Structure 1
């Protein structure tokens, strides 16, 4: 994934941009960047943050940056924000999303004798491609609208000019853009959790496809919201920060509700409920509150030096980090029947290692309760799992094991009322060595989110767009 943050202010904005961007560090571990308009030029900096924290790379540069408007980005894919000079003038641009037809769009550009810089490991930088789309139109508004129409997948955009900041939410609103306000300043953010400690209050949330323009004096609607929304459910289940709120529903509140609904449909006898850190914890608290079974921490996440493990692209590194950063508490594990809530099961390799660790500490039983249905399809709209093959999903592996090949239709495996679904779940349970496995159902997960079902993307679970 990626996340961005922008500020327009009557005073210096560098501190707000720095800390606001840092509050998106959970969304990416590849590149971090800041661009600030100083009244004459853009002062920008991009760093590799694969092996270090965003803050440590930029703290020494802050005293050199001055300006009242700026944007920042944490990216898991490409270096950004980029500085562009075109017939529109000079501007900075940052994007969040996934461009599935990047090659097709690039080919169209090449017919116009234009080029791209291969600065992103020999590939075209998606954010640079977006800037090229915008620059082919007569205005920023037309360019942003053209990008919405042309891009398959999703693309939300922050575009900073010397006059102010454009914010364009992707056409179907798969990711959020939220506006905050305090005296003399406006900010725009992927995560609303960035607001309180910087003094901002929630002001406005863009609708799907909506474009706004902000300057220090106010906000202007450039293009209205579209009717259809398909916001990603994983914002609440998995990668959203607990203190953030999207479409009026807070992430942590959703997780408590979701865990409670998991418990209502369960009757397993256990000694303790726990969460797989970090995103499984909220679901586990909800489960514990509803079931009246004590919540505990039979292992602790060692955070001082270990980063989020789902972000590194190499599977062996992800497995190693996941193993090394979880430290068991043997006294809470020995001879206990434990139930763990996790946000999801993707491949299951990390969870298998965690369960093995608990058995080595003499756990009697380890029951797993994912907070969403089985992942049968790989996401094709966002970039949080681009390195993971659909065939590597635990559910797909189980289906192929049961069928002997990939079936023509996967509908039966998406239906909890179908026997094939239960065979798939049993197969996953045995392969990963759980005492029992029971997934959240789609209906209850959507109920826990609490917005209209037709506004939520559920493609990962049922293949329906």
Structure 2
């Protein structure tokens, strides 16, 4: 998904920018970048696929000096970019996914535009965003016009000599939150980035809202709208437990998911566990509701390994999944385990590198409980699942039907026989004793927003 962080400070902001950006490291694994504006622009971009963000910038940030700064942890494009434009020189970062990048870039190329930034052999979507903004009569008009042209989502931070302009995606798929500390301001994807830096939340941007933060404080440039469809997966998996979106705590939502899983379960077990790290909150909620003890049959070797889902290459995902989880045989052997997981995408990591370790350590039974429904559609708004073939639920439907079925509505109904057969097939493939997913209505209840204000596309295709 990517995570972005910006700061406007009365003093040199480079140190706060380093740590504020670093608190988004769970959001991407490809590139990390920082730009600071003082007497000049300072910028650094590094590949972080094989090293941590802080280690790549720890010496470099000390050479940056300025009151304004923006940073990014990117899941795809190298950023921030520094652009010369009719609005002056600016630096820009973005979080989201522009699905029609190729089509829009083709139109601009036909008009005589050129692209200087290429990512993985293709157009850098952040440069595309900058060029689209530059077509506006004013900077605000350009940002507003951007959302008329793109398919997908983009929340942006744009930094120039008068401060930072921030725009949240028009449908609110990705969040932006403002914090304040003694007259300094920060704006971020993740509110957890504020806590140890001393910022307090003062504003959640509305979908489509544009603000400017400069030396005179915060000013609204374009009013937001109420058409919010924020990504539900932020609470289930993507977000950090100490963060909140729309004022709703990630950790508490995960606990409520676990409680609702337990409330609709009748399995007999000896202990509850979560797949580290994102399954832990769900498992704690399950334990609180069921009365079963929460224990740790699997522990994550945190110092060396990050998230195994975010790397783009399957071989890297497999390596991280293999190495990061360590089984505790003394907790596992002979026990019936309820294993809470945030979700099941491909199912390969869960089967080969999690359940296999539990079985080999002597587990008696393993009851898998994902904290969301089966993922049925690729994400159109962030770089997560990109094709139907990645989804184990679609593999199950193909096996049951004998072909790739376009209309899967019968499989979306968690009361239908076809849904039950699909779940049974997935459970058998995983080598789980039982498998039971959280129902869509329970997930919505756990999040606590009206259903119409949540993006549920990954589960319902709507």
TM-score (norm 2): 0.98
- Which residue of structure 2 aligns with residue 106 of structure 1? 105
Change beyond 3 A, Cα 1:408–1:74 = closer
SS of structure 2 residue aligned to 1:198:
coil
8 Å CA contact 1:149, 1:171 repeated in 2: no
- Which residue of structure 1 aligns with residue 287 of structure 2? 288
Q: Which moved more, 1:407-416 or 1:341-350?
A: 407-416
Query: Residues 59-78 of structure 1 correspond to what in structure 2 (within 5 A)?
Result: 59-78=58-77
Runs of 4+ in 1 over 4 A off after TM superposition: none
8 Å CA contact 2:32, 2:79 repeated in 1: yes
- Which residue of structure 2 aligns with residue 86 of structure 1? 85
Q: Does 2:247 match 1:253?
A: no
- Which residue of structure 2 aligns with residue 443 of structure 1? 441
8 Å CA contact 2:117, 2:127 repeated in 1: no
SS of structure 2 residue aligned to 1:412:
helix
Q: Counterparts of 1:377 and 1:122 in 2: how far apart (Å)?
A: 27
Q: Counterparts of 1:236 and 1:148 in 2: how far apart (Å)?
A: 25
8 Å CA contact 1:83, 1:93 repeated in 2: yes
The count of aligned residue pairs is 461
Q: Counterparts of 1:347 and 1:221 in 2: how far apart (Å)?
A: 42
Q: CA deviation at 1:407?
A: 1.8
Q: CA deviation at 1:118?
A: 4.7
- Which residue of structure 1 aligns with residue 392 of structure 2? 394
Query: Residues 113-192 of structure 1 correspond to what in structure 2 (within 5 A)?
Result: 113-192=112-191
Q: Which residue of 405, 409, 412 corresponds with 1:411? A: 409
- Which residue of structure 2 aligns with residue 325 of structure 1? 324
Q: Counterparts of 2:157 and 2:69 in 1: how far apart (Å)?
A: 10
Q: Which moved more, 1:428-437 or 1:108-117?
A: 108-117
Q: CA deviation at 1:110?
A: 1.5
8 Å CA contact 2:157, 2:167 repeated in 1: yes
Q: Counterparts of 1:413 and 1:66 in 2: how far apart (Å)?
A: 56
8 Å CA contact 1:11, 1:184 repeated in 2: no
Residue by residue over 1:37-90, the C-alpha shift from the partner in whole angstroms, topping out at 9 and shown as x without a partner, is: 01x321111111111110011111122111000100010101101001111111
Q: CA deviation at 1:10?
A: 1.5
SS of structure 1 residue aligned to 2:201:
strand
CA RMSD in angstroms comes to 0.9
Q: CA deviation at 1:385?
A: 3.0
- Which residue of structure 2 aligns with residue 272 of structure 1? 271
Any stretches of 5+ residues in structure 1 without a counterpart? Answer: none
Residue by residue over 1:306-353, the C-alpha shift from the partner in whole angstroms, topping out at 9 and shown as x without a partner, is: 222112212122122112111101011111000110000001000002
TM-score (norm 1): 0.98
Q: Counterparts of 1:276 and 1:63 in 2: how far apart (Å)?
A: 38
